[in-house]
């Protein structure tokens, strides 16, 4: 009896299995048919849309691409162009597709509709292209029916004929450019700063970040241009050195074969030695390393140093004259980059830098004019070199006097001005003199390195100077000691062992030129010129005590 029941169930199980297999086979056949249909469509329309062959250097200049920035040129109106751009957004609506394409800070709207030879499949293809992909588009440049406010080219749009993906982006992005471009004060989602730095290549696509680094490039360019035009020679000093270059402890120590070496804190000693090789004026653009565990808005463990050193005939003012001319040149030229400045200001609003006194302020306060031998009657004995540059110089002691007008706990003339009081000093200078930029000179000996020349009239002070922007130091410099005996005596007084850098001292024993110079932090200049809140915004891939990636 039980055997007959088992026999009865067997055909039912077989029938269920055969039905399941049949459904699976049908599904596979359907999928195969769809794939074949899709392959046929891809083949049919491959010249119109699809994936472009991978760029592997098989052709050279076989196609002429028009930069997105040039699309508004009148001669391109109603012409067919080929562009390569990044996809910002896509929008598909029925038989029409729209895209915003961009390259750097330039963007344009492109559209296509199902008509004539344009199939619906092209609309579908465009609709599934991930944002941030790179595409080649062949299109006609047409006048826009009405201004397009979401793109930099507001009066034109592209009527697409062909589109091919060069590379596709992942569909899930680390963040959206819209979120990363918002002001701190705006509503809506914002992107954590560390998240942005972790995907810096994505962050650089925002208008503000891209503009910051174009402006940083300009600072370097104008720095070089001014100095070369003024007979300076660019040098490149070593960054792996035998001993701490400034006698300090804030250096990175590394294993160097069977001994230890250090990363240079600055090119200071090498600049001076090169001058004694009868190269009268030198400058360098290069990395600087500081082993300082400072997690502040303005400190980095690696940054770009802009260094200058030159002979002087009589006075360190000769160096200050060059420094003022240099900064005036940089600032005047940066001010012409209106588009980049506007891009930064859209996300990081700032007041444009004021680096000169007005003629009225010079006369009103009795500011001295060095080139005209006009002594100051100003209460703080402020000076400018000449009435053309009008860049402020104030003695360190008078900076202390200015601070003491508002400080409850008064400072002595040789006290160090800390970071908080630097900001306060900047505000007081702006209030009194109307400038964001000034030079303070004759710093106390206790605050300067061993190689700094002392003031002849008062050994408590030195022939040194700092340059300030918006209440923060951007540059430090001095007349250097060029007499080897005085250098040794100064080092001994400060307990600095010069044995490891004997060659540096020796470079002054064969007839030494009097000289001075200064060093500038590139990222800090950019940060303060643009009024940014954090130096990391002006550092491409910042290094600080917490970050060594990416």
Residues labelled catalytic: 290, 292, 298-299, 473, 476, 524
CA distance 139 to 494: 72
Residues in the chain: 550
Strand order in the sheet with 240-241: 240-241, 259-263, 253-256
CB atoms under 10 Å from CB of 38, counted, come to: 11
**Residues 518 and 319: beta-carbon distance below 8 Å:** yes
Instruction: Give the helix ranges, DSSP H, for 293-357.
Output: 317-334, 338-347
Question: Dihedrals φ, ψ of 231, to 5°?
Answer: 70, 30
Burial environment of residue 279 by CB neighbours within 10 A (0 to 12, 13 to 18, 19 or more): middle
Q: Which residues contact 364 (CB under 8 A, 6 or more apart)?
A: none
- Tell me the C-alpha distance between 427 and 470, whole Å: 8
Residue 190: both structure tokens together: 């914002």
- Residue 297 contacts by C-beta under 8 Å, 6 or more apart in sequence? 533, 534, 535
CA distance 481 to 515: 8
For every residue of 446-479, DSSP letters joined together read: GGS-TTBPEETTEEEEESEEEEEETTEEEEEEEE
Quick one: how many helices (H) and strands (E) in the chain? Answer: 15, 21
CB of 382 within 8 A of CB of 392? yes
- Of 126, 118, 122, 106, nearest in space to 66 by CA: 106
Pick from 468, 487, 486, 123: which is nearest to 327 by CA? 468
Cβ–Cβ contacts within 10 Å for residue 291, how many?
16
Identify the DSSP state of 417: -
Q: List all residues 6 or more positions away from 255 whose beta carbon is below 8 Å from its beta carbon.
A: 261
- The C-alpha atoms of residue 204 and residue 521 are separated, in whole angstroms, by 21
Report d(CA 213, CA 532) in Å as an integer.
13
Q: How far is CA 440 from the centre of its chain?
A: 27
Alpha helices in 230-316 (DSSP H): 268-275
Beta bridge partners, 543, equal 302
Q: DSSP code of 231? A: T
């Amino acid at each position: 009896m039980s055997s007959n029941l088992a026999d009865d169930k067997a055909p039912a199980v077989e029938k269920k299995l055969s039905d399941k297999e049949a459904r699976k086979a049908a599904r596979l056949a359907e999928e195969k048919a769809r794939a074949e249909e899709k392959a046929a469509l891809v083949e049919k329309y491959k010249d119109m849309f699809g994936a472009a062959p991978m760029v592997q250097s098989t052709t050279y200049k076989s196609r002429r691409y028009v930069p997105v920035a040039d699309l508004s040129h009148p001669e391109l109106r109603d012409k067919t162009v080929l562009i390569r751009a990044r996809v910002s957004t896509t929008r598909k609506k029925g038989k029409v597709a729209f895209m915003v394409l961009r390259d750097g800070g330039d963007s344009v709207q492109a559209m296509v509709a199902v008509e004539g030879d344009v199939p619906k499949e092209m609309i579908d293809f465009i609709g599934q292209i991930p944002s941030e992909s790179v595409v080649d588009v062949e299109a006609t440049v047409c006048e826009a029916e009405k201004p397009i406010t979401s793109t930099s080219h507001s009066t034109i749009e592209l009527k697409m004929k062909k589109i091919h993906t060069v590379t596709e982006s992942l569909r899930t992005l680390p963040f959206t450019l819209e979120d990363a471009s918002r002001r701190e004060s705006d509503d809506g989602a914002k992107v954590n700063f560390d998240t942005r730095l972790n995907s810096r290549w994505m962050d650089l696509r925002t208008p503000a970040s891209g503009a910051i680094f174009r402006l940083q490039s300009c600072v370097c360019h104008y720095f070089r241009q001014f100095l070369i035009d003024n007979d300076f020679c660019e040098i490149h000093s070593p960054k792996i050195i035998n001993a701490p270059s400034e006698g300090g402890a804030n250096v990175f120590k590394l294993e160097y074969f069977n001994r230890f070496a250090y990363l240079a804190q600055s090119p200071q000693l090498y600049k001076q030695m090169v001058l004694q090789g009868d190269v009268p004026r030198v400058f360098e653009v290069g990395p600087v390393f500081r082993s300082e565990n400072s997690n502040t808005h303005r400190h980095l463990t690696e940054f770009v140093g802009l260094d200058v050193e030159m002979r002087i005939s009589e006075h360190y003012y000769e160096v200050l004259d060059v420094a003022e001319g240099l900064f005036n040149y940089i600032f005047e030229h940066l001010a012409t980059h209106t588009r980049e400045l506007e891009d930064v200001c859209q996300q990081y609003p700032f007041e444009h830098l004021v680096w000169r006194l007005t003629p009225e302020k010079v006369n009103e306060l009795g500011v001295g004019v060095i080139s005209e031998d006009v002594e100051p009657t100003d209460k703080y004995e402020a000076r400018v070199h000449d009435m053309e540059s009008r860049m402020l110089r104030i003695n360190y002691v008078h900076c202390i006097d200015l601070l003491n007008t508002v400080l409850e706990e008064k400072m002595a003339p040789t006290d160090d001005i800390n970071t908080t009081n630097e900001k306060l000093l900047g505000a007081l200078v702006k209030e009194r003199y109307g400038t964001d930029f000034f030079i303070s000179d004759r710093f106390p000996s206790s605050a300067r390195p061993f190689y700094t020349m002392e003031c002849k009239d008062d050994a408590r002070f030195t022939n040194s100077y700092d340059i300030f922007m918006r209440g923060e130091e951007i540059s430090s410099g001095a007349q250097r000691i060029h007499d080897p005996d005085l250098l040794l005596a100064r080092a001994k007084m400060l307990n600095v062992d010069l044995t490891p850098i004997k060659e540096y001292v020796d470079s002054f024993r064969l007839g030494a030129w009097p000289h001075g110079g200064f060093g500038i932090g590139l990222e800090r200049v950019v940060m303060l010129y643009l009024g940014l809140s954090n130096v990391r915004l002006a550092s491409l891939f910042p290094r600080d005590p917490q970050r060594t990636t990416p």
